[in-house]
Amino acid sequence: MVDAFQMAQRPAKQRTGLFFFLIVVFFAFGWQIGQIDLVSFFTKAGDAGPALMRVLWPWQRAISYPEELSVSSAKILSPCGETPYPENVWEDKDRPFLKVNPTCGVPSEQDGEPGTTLTLTGEGFAPGEEGEVWWRDPIGNEFRQRQAGDYVKVMPDADGKFSVEIIFPYRLLPRGAGEKAQEWTIEVRQLAAVGDPEPSVELKLAIEKIIETIFIGMMATLFGIVLALPISFLAARNLMSGSRFSLAVYYITRTILNIIRSIEPLIWAIIAVIVVGLGPFAGILALTLHSLASLAKLYSEAIESIDHGPIEAIQATGANWLQTIMYAVVPQVIPPFVSFTIYRWDINIRMSTIIGFVGGGGIGFLLAQWIRLLDYSAAGIAVWFIAITVAILDYVSAEIRNRFV
């Protein structure tokens, strides 16, 4: 008996060994095809830290302050004249003051000697707010000051003062323009925050688009229900197997629903954008088509699983096909219909958040733009709104399901 038991166990052990061998082979091929590189993942994961932190905590971009551009300028003579060029005088103490020393000099030469070194000092500027250095040449051309390849910037201290050394820049002038002394203008432009905090443009856009997203999902669900309800009865085999014609209608309906359902909503959105253009209408069309196919399938399967006793009882009274559906089928399918509808509503809300990536409107449209611009703080605002919306709708759908299902 022991020998017989051992012989019976050998095929099972062989099958188990073959099964594990196939798993190992499949895993090895998957590792190679997937180009999995754990070393690179763990060594470079820290590079995503700054961007990830801006996404996880983006709320500094949610608040903005009214900004005011203050411009302070000083005049410089080039080349120097016989008499000293007058210094700038701080007459209005309520406005920032800019002073340059010396008050005259020689511009830099192209591929030649650098120009005069100037000391630029300022007072009365907004503390801690960066300022940009601009020039205006004698013929009115404006350009930013560059030095060592970077734009020159100033940072006032806590008292609103700064001091920086810059080189008189090079600027190409028309023939004869530099033969006599002419005035150049140097400016410091500072964009400073003033007034009370207010919602930022990004926050307002995110609120507007998340509302649009919710309505895209709701409208698509509503249209999907209206279209799927009558079609689901045509896709139920137990109701459509009475004749060859009805059975043919069943197979045709099922085939069309499977084709529509097999195409992802993002693909439908691309097609809808071609037809109706960018915007929420394209997203509604895409989600409606996918909802129609999915809900009709779920509804028809619920119809196929009903108790046939009430159907036979109604038909025994001489009821026609429509009366049988109204009084024997509909009362049995209402609970699963409500459950499937809530489930699809939840899916549509989630899908409507990303349908905008292909131009279907909603907050996904903004999210795609901000990600392409590497504006991760603004993208983080959109991600938070999506997460909050999905969480709230999940709670609402659970409450509806508990009360009506």
CATH number of the domain at 341, please. 1.10.3720.10
- pLDDT reported for residue 12: 57
Which alpha helices (H) appear in 49-172, and where do they start and end?
49-56
CA 91 to chain centre: 50
- CATH code of the domain covering residue 151: 2.60.40
Q: Is the pTM of this model over 0.85?
A: no
Contact between residue 115 and residue 91 where contact means Cβ atoms under 8 Å apart: no
Q: Tokens standing for 186?
A: 């140097």
- pLDDT reported for residue 291: 92
User: Which parts of the chain register pLDDT below 70?
Assistant: 1-14, 172-179, 404-405
- pLDDT reported for residue 208: 92
Q: Tokens standing for 177?
A: 């323009």
217 and 165 together in one domain: no
- Give 154's strand partners: 131
110 and 88 together in one domain: yes
252 and 380 together in one domain: yes
Number of domains in the chain: 2
End-to-end, the C-alpha distance of the chain in Å comes to: 57
84 and 192 together in one domain: yes
Q: Which one, of 249, 327, 252, 341, lies nearest residue 291 by Cα?
A: 341
- pLDDT reported for residue 287: 93
Half-sphere exposure of 218 (CA within 13 A, CB side): 8
Q: At 341, which amino acid appears?
A: T
- pLDDT reported for residue 286: 92
- pLDDT reported for residue 224: 92
43 within some domain: no
Contact between residue 397 and residue 342 where contact means Cβ atoms under 8 Å apart: yes
CA 265/CA 263 separation, integer angstroms? 7
160 and 185 together in one domain: yes
CB under 8 Å to 367, separation ≥6 — which residues?
Answer: 353, 354, 356, 357, 379, 382, 383, 386
Q: Which one, of 265, 294, 275, 293, lies nearest residue 357 by Cα?
A: 265
What is the domain range of residue 98?
Answer: 65-172+180-198
CA 186/CA 99 separation, integer angstroms? 10
- Give 198's strand partners: 64
394 and 358 together in one domain: yes
Q: At 54, which amino acid appears?
A: R
CB under 8 Å to 203, separation ≥6 — which residues?
Answer: 61, 62, 63, 381
359 and 389 together in one domain: yes
CA 176/CA 214 separation, integer angstroms? 66
192 and 339 together in one domain: no
Q: Tokens standing for 324?
A: 């049988």
13 within some domain: no
CA 211/CA 384 separation, integer angstroms? 14
Nearest 10 degrees: CA dihedral of 20, 24, 25, 28?
A: 170
CA 341/CA 326 separation, integer angstroms? 19
CA 347/CA 290 separation, integer angstroms? 11
- pLDDT reported for residue 240: 80
CA 119/CA 165 separation, integer angstroms? 4
320 and 225 together in one domain: yes
364 and 220 together in one domain: yes
- pLDDT reported for residue 9: 52
Last residue of a domain, one of 198, 233, 259: 198
- pLDDT reported for residue 256: 92
Q: Which one, of 281, 284, 282, lies nearest residue 270 by Cα?
A: 282
94 within some domain: yes
Which alpha helices (H) appear in 190-329, and where do they start and end?
201-234, 237-240, 244-262, 265-276, 280-304, 308-316, 321-324
- pLDDT reported for residue 282: 92
Exposed/middle/buried for residue 61 (C-beta within 10 Å: 0-12, 13-18, 19+): buried
CB under 8 Å to 144, separation ≥6 — which residues?
Answer: 132, 133, 134, 135, 151, 152
301 and 365 together in one domain: yes
Residue 126 DSSP class: P
